[in-house]
Structure 1
Amino acid sequence: MSRLLGSVRARATLGATLVVAVALVAAGTAVLLSLRSNLLGEAGTQAERSAREVATELAVGTPYAELSLDVDDRPVQVVDEDGGLVAASEDLERISGTGVDAVKPQPSPTGDGVGDDDGDSDDDSDDDDSGESLAPGGIGERTTVSDGSATIDGDTEDYRFAAVPVQNRAGDDLTVYAGAPLSAEHGAVNTALTVMLIGFPLLLAVVGWVTWLVTGRALRPVAGIRREMAAITASEDLARRVPVPDTHDEVARLASTTNRTLAALESSVERQRRFVADASHELRSPIASLRTQLEVAAAHPELLDLDGAVEDTVRLQRLAADLLLLARLDAGERPADARVDLAALAREEAGGRSGVSVRAEDGVAGEVTVAGSRGQLGRVLANLLDNAQRHARSAVEVSVRRDGDTAVVAVADDGEGVPAADRERIFERFVRLDAARSRDDGGAGLGLAIARDVAVRHGGTLTVHEAPAGGALFELRLPGA
């Protein structure tokens, strides 16, 4: 069960069915209550109409024995002010709900059934229970409604009774009780309830079935994406892509995003593979050279090239440091949050280098401060200066300036420059544009890659343009502290 409910399709179907079930129960309850209220109101109206017809006969002086009490076989009682039954339906056998259980009228003391009409009735009349003051021949406006039951000619039913006060011409205060059957109300409510009890489960089954089909169709592309992702995981083939449905909905956007993620992952993995391969290749050369020199020295100590061995060791150490720094940058290492004066750092890195000059733009007599790692930013400037000196004919110029809230360091040389087509490629790892240059002269091709990665980690950029003197102009832009 828990596994089934773990399915989005099952949860959606169950949720939709529950919502519809609650709505149906609420709507069915409202319909039943409204139907019952309307039918009870209609029964009350019919009972009041019957009671007023009898009250009208009493008001005009009709004797009790001549009252129309057996119309439509409905229970009717006429009760005097003392609660005595003076008239009732002929076949009435039992009654409840009117407050008077008697079903047989009491004999009239005068025998005429209309009471005493001696002219003193106005003085002897009392107010009826409804609180209305009635004159002889008057009928009360207010009607009291109650529910009960009655047995007429052996048939027992539930009734709604209406009580209407009236005063006959003799001045007697009377109350007429007339009932209307509730069988129609009971039948209609029971029929509606039966229809609901049968129809609602069928409707819920249809809703659940349709929801199951619709969600299954909607989630079918998701199943395809899952299968393809499982296949990619099993095969480790990042060149594969998940199918993108033609629905242009959230699932299609999910598939597109997944494919972009796979493309980025493939590019990253391929970049790491190239990095490992290039690093292995770059490390192999100084290690092989150093091993050869040590083996020769072991066999012939007099042939030991100590300077070459030291040079290979230093080169190997620098390459290892570069690889370690790149690994830390790839791991997302956050730079230190120290304040670094770029102008002072540029002068420090340029010190002792021949042909390198540092110039501060107008208005930058003081500090040009940024937040970051002094060591890593110094490494950026050192790599840029190494690259510029390697390609310059005679001079390298470093300029430091502010550009709004941005600190800018520019390193320009008077060499041949960088072709426009290669101005992004030179920042890739292990890239050397001059393939004929030896590794000893040109390095491993990691300096500019490290410089750009450090700049990006500090929230800045590193780009290359054409220098005014025709060479390369590397521009480092960092947010000011």
Structure 2
Amino acid sequence: MSRLFASVRARATLAATLVVAVALVAAGTAVLLSLRSNLLGEAGTQAERSAREVATELAVGTPYADLSLDVDDRPVQVVDDDGGLVAASEDLERISGTGVDAVKPRPAASPGGEDDDAADDDSGESLEPGEIGGRITVSDGSATIDGDTEDYRFAAVPVKTENRGTLTVYAGAPLSAEHGAVNTALTVMLIGFPLLLAVVAWVTWLVTRRALRPVEGIRREMAAITASEDLARRVPVPGTHDEVARLATTTNETLAALESSVERQRGFVADASHELRSPIASLRTQLEVAAAHPELLDLDGAVADTVRLQRLAADLLLLARLDAGERPADARVDLAALAREAAEGRAGVRVRGDEGVVSAAGSRGQLGRVLANLLDNAERHARSVVEVSVRWDGDTALVAVTDDGEGVPAADRERIFERFVRLDDARSRDDGGAGLGLAIARDVAVRHGGTLTVHDAPAGGALFELRLPGDGPERPGTCDQGLRVVPAARAGVPRWA
């Protein structure tokens, strides 16, 4: 049972049935109360009409014996000021609810035996002789007429007569129609409501099953994907254009992103293994030769391979931290000072920056790594000039690195930011990095809420623009930090790190 109600379809069916049940009970109760009220009101109107007919006869002086008391076999009583019964229906055997239990009239008093002018209506109305009171009293009771006992609604109508004082006429209307109608309606509800609830539950079950069928298809396909580990598969998208269809679309987008991430990770691992194999193999070979022939040890080459291996390991570690979502520090970094530090040791690199502080929030070490990578890349491609400018562009801190090399083809301006991507076909590792420099720079820029893009430089070559969110400029101005000329032997090297 617990597994049954763990189903969304079962819970939806139960909830819909309960809601309809509550609504039906509320509506049925309101209908019964309204029906009973209307029927009681109709019975009261009939009782009042019968009482007024008798009161009218009394008002015109009709003797008690000639009153129309047995019309429609309804109980009628005529009571005087003293509460004595002076007239009643002929077959009346028992009565309750009128305040007078007598069913047989007492002997009539002699005319003129009381002061007619002093007699007033007990209801509080001051009536003139021959006048019928307008204040009607209604009560419920029962009566037995000719052996048949029924419930009645009684109406009491006062009337002032010429010589018999103030009389009160009690007339009853049967409530059998009210009881019958209410009981019939109640029976219909007791039979019909469960049937209606069963229909509602059945229809809800079917509709919910149809609505959730695509969800079950998505679940089965996701289970199959999990079992097969085939991220190329996709869940079916229903053509309903509703929430389930959007769920399937989002699921497929998630699967596509996951597949892309896994493929990128696999490619990253493969490329990293490939890049690490070369320096490790070279270093091992040199050590083996040195072990056999110490005089042939290439110490400089071993050191170079070790340094290269160390740098590659550091790059891979930084990328791993970036992929893990490492958040940069929230310190203010002076980008102009950072650019000058990155240019130190690179004799003659020109750094131009605003006289005011151009700063951005982030990690000084990671942003310094971005500038170093951009300068390394520019040096490998420049023919003669590498220039760095730091300035404000609105509220954005802009660092631009320009070289006068061959530039980057438009088709490759996004591809060069991919990991282990270099545009040379030979993939020579003798000069340059492993193709991680620009990828690291782009990832660091994105982690700092900025962008890194490449364009054509105004004077030819490549222009790399690093944009980081800042607080806006304080003081305009520029300063130069020198010019570096890259040796011609390195000009035009077609490799982007």
Shorter-chain TM-score bucket reads: over 0.9
* Structure 2 Cα separation of the partners of residues 157 and 95 of structure 1: 10
Residue among 98, 108, 116 paired with 1:121 = 116
Match of 1:69 in 2: 69
Q: How high is the sequence identity, in percent, across the aligned residues?
A: 89
CA–CA distance in structure 2, aligned partners of residues 442 and 422 of structure 1 = 18
Greater CA drift, 6-15 or 40-49: 6-15
Aligned equivalent of 1:185, options 150, 172, 178: 178
Counterpart check, 1:240 vs 2:233: yes
Residue 49 of structure 1 is matched in structure 2 by: 49
- Residues of 2 paired with 1:33 and 1:165: CA distance? 31
User: What's the counterpart of residue 33 of structure 1?
Assistant: 33
Q: Give the structure 1 partner of residue 390 of structure 2.
A: 400
Query: Is this contact kept in 2: 1:79–1:176, CA < 8 A?
Result: yes
Report the alpha carbon displacement of residue 159 of structure 1 after superposing the two structures with TM. Answer: 0.3
Instruction: Determine the C-alpha separation between the residues in 2 that align with 1:58 and 1:161.
Output: 18
Q: Say which of 375, 378, 391 aligns to 2:368.
A: 378
Matched residue of 2:357: which SS?
coil
Matched, 1:166 2:159: yes
Residue 454 of structure 2, aligned match among 442, 447, 464: 464
For residues 380 and 242 of structure 2, the distance between their equivalents in structure 1, rounded to whole angstroms, comes to 55
Secondary structure, in 3 states, of the residue corresponding to 1:136?
A: coil
Q: Does 1:411 align with 2:401?
A: yes
**Where in structure 1 are there 5+ consecutive unaligned residues?**
none
Q: How does 1:172-211 map to 2 (within 5 A)?
A: 172-211=165-204
Give the deviation of 1:355 after TM superposition.
4.3
Conserved? CA contact 1:136–1:171, under 8 Å: no
- Cα deviation for residue 181 of structure 1 reads 0.4
Counterpart amino acid of residue 108 in structure 2: S
- Which of 275, 294, 308 is the matching residue for 1:315? 308
User: Which AA in structure 1 matches 2:104?
Assistant: K
Partners of 1:393 and 1:175 lie apart in 2 by 127
Query: AA paired with 1:39?
Result: L
Corresponding residue number in structure 1 for 2:280: 287
Q: Distance in 1 between matches of 2:116 and 2:469?
A: 110
**Offset of residue 406 of structure 1:** 0.5
**Aligned counterparts of 2:328 and 2:275: Cα–Cα separation in 1:** 27
Aligned to 1:93: 93
Distance (Å, rounded) in 1 between the aligned partners of 2:15 and 2:277: 64
Query: So what's the TM-score if we normalise by structure 1?
Result: 0.96
Partner of 2:431: helix, strand, or coil?
helix
1:265 and 1:440 map into 2 onto residues whose CA distance is 35
- Structure 1 residue identity aligned to 2:112: D
Number of residue pairs matched?
471
Q: Once the two structures are superposed, what CA deviation does each residue of 1:359-386 show, in whole Å capped at 9, x if it has no partner?
A: 22xxx21211111111000000000000
Higher deviation after alignment, 132-141 or 443-452: 132-141
Secondary structure of 1:469's counterpart equals coil
2:346 and 2:80 map into 1 onto residues whose CA distance is 130
User: Which residue of 453, 456, 473 maps to 2:463?
Assistant: 473
Distance in 2 separating the partners of 1:272 and 1:77? 103
1:397-417 deviations in whole A, cap 9, x for unaligned?
111111010011111111111
Report the Cα distance in structure 1 between the residues aligned to 2:427 and 2:458, rounded to whole angstroms: 26
* Residues 371-380 or 292-301, more deviating: 292-301
Q: CA-atom RMSD, angstroms?
A: 1.2
Equivalent residue for 2:484? Answer: none
TM-score by length of 2: 0.93
Task: Tell me the residue number matched to 2:242.
Answer: 249
Which residue is 2:264 aligned to?
Answer: 271
Partner Cα separation in structure 2 for residue 207 and residue 129 of structure 1 = 58
The alignment partner of 2:430 has SS state of helix
Q: What CA deviation, in whole Å up to 9, does each residue of 1:131-152 have, x standing for no partner?
A: 1112222211111000000000
CA distance in 1, matches of 2:129, 2:456: 121
Structure 2: state its 5+ residue gaps.
472-497
Structure 1 consecutive aligned stretches of length 4 or more whose deviation exceeds 3 Å: none
